[in-house]
Amino acid sequence: MSASDRQWTPVTLPDLPPPAGAYSPGVRAGNLFFVSGQVPRDPATGQNVGTTIEEQTRQTLANLERVLHTGGATLEQVVSVTIYLTDENNWGAVNEIYKTVFSPPYPTRAVVGASLRGILVEISAIAYVP
């Protein structure tokens, strides 16, 4: 399939280098906006932010929100979230920060244990954008 045949539109982040891997930060497909896994990386410097789960979660959620806004979506439009943690025991701390960003009714959510190559948390999301 060529790019012109696709029924979806990738989103790029202005004034930032493209991702190191072969993926788009976000993709709009119809009324759905998919955000690739975001990590606690400072978008301007490329350096990881924070050493604690709390610091890294805040930065990761800020990065998620940035991609959403770039694609014309908001946190309020998020319908599903997947959180990847290197240590499942950090679930409670992440959940407390998550509740400061998302409000009821909360999106669906899965939390998965994962090896994340030097970071503590990664978060992906799907938003409904009518």
Q: What angle do CA 123, 62, 112 make, to 5 degrees?
A: 15
| Three-class secondary structure of residue 32 per DSSP | strand
Q: What is the pLDDT along the chain (130 residues), one digit of tens a residue?
A: 566 667 888 887 776 666 778 888 999 999 999 999 999 999 888 899 999 999 999 999 999 999 999 999 999 999 999 999 999 999 999 999 999 999 999 999 999 999 998 999 999 999 999 9
E-only strand ranges, 1-130: 9-11, 26-29, 32-38, 78-85, 108-113, 121-128
Residues 6+ apart with CB under 8 A from 105: none
The reported pLDDT for the residue numbered 4 is 61
Whether the Cβ atoms of residue 17 and residue 42 lie closer than 8 Å to each other: no
**What CATH number does the domain located at 25-128 have?**
3.30.1330.40
The reported pLDDT for the residue numbered 60 is 96
The reported pLDDT for the residue numbered 57 is 98
Tokens coding 30: 């119809």
CA distance 88 to 110: 12
Tokens coding 76: 């309020």
The reported pLDDT for the residue numbered 104 is 96
Give Cα separations from 37 to 4, 59, 60, 104, 125 (angstroms).
25, 13, 9, 23, 8
The reported pLDDT for the residue numbered 103 is 95
CA distance 44 to 52: 20
Residue type, 74: T
Q: How far, rounded to the nearest angstrom, does the alpha carbon of residue 111 sit from its chain's CA centroid?
A: 13
The reported pLDDT for the residue numbered 16 is 61
